[in-house]
Homo-oligomer: A and B are copies of this chain.
């Protein structure tokens, strides 16, 4: 199911000045290793809404997000959807034990990834424990986030969910774009609802309520935290 709009650059890039050089898996490699590594990955672009891989697909590649945002989700047979996370630049996707992806991933807006064929990547890792350690670190970080999200899904009210989401999302963007009380939300209300285990109406109503109380301002493509302290109180962190 390779989408037609995907474009691949034959080779117009170098890892050494990649945007995610410092934070992604490749941060564990030295300059010499990086030159070798460069041949393994190729940049691939996806446009908004395109699927990068689907749950249950055989895993043929790993992906390193370079630019943009992706939604990672699982579907129930009847169509209910749970977004298990949003991937941002520096995130590494595709690791699994079964040989099949255990969630689907698609682009929210334009996305650039660094794609690695599974086998050569596996071979490259083989004698580079540093890289393995880095991948393990990323997995452990994900796991910690996943557990936090379980608490949110299982034990928080709608207001708390929305407030936690805004703070969490701002926090993640902090590392990428620097601190700001203006939080861009590239994903749809439906995406937010499916991430928080709510309906789109509840998300919308909660935003409106927060805005009426002067806590946030809903702006085009995002929200602005007028009273961050209030939001933090609501999140019951």
A-side interface residues toward B, CB under 8 Å?
74, 76-78, 80-82, 84, 95-98, 102-103, 129, 132-133, 135-137, 139-144, 146-151, 153-156, 194, 196-197, 236-237
Contact = CB atoms under 8 A, between A and B. Distances in A.
Given A84-B147, A103-B147, A147-B84, A96 B153 contact: no
Contacts of A98: 144
A125 B142 CA distance: 21
A175 to B, nearest CB: 14
Nearest to A195: B154
A135 B136 CA distance: 8
Nearest to A196: B154
Contacts of A132: 129, 132-133, 136
Contacts of A146: 143, 146-147, 150
Given A136-B135, A139-B136, A140-B96, A78 B147 contact: no
A102 B144 contact: yes
Contacts of A147: 74, 84, 102-103, 146
A122 to B, nearest CB: 11
A141 B143 CA distance: 10
A146 B102 CA distance: 11
Contacts of A144: 96-98, 102
Given A97-B137, A132-B129, A151 B236 contact: no
A76 B135 contact: no
Contacts of A78: 236
A136 to B, nearest CB: 5
Nearest to A132: B132
A197 to B, nearest CB: 3
B95 A140 contact: yes
A144 to B, nearest CB: 5
B139 A139 contact: yes
A102 B142 CA distance: 12
Contacts of A196: 154
B153 A197 contact: yes
21 contacts: A74-B150, A76-B151, A80-B155, A82-B151, A84-B147, A95-B143, A96-B144, A97-B144, A102-B144, A103-B147, A129-B129, A132-B132, A135-B136, A136-B136, A139-B139, A142-B143, A146-B150, A153-B154, A153-B197, A154-B194, A154-B197
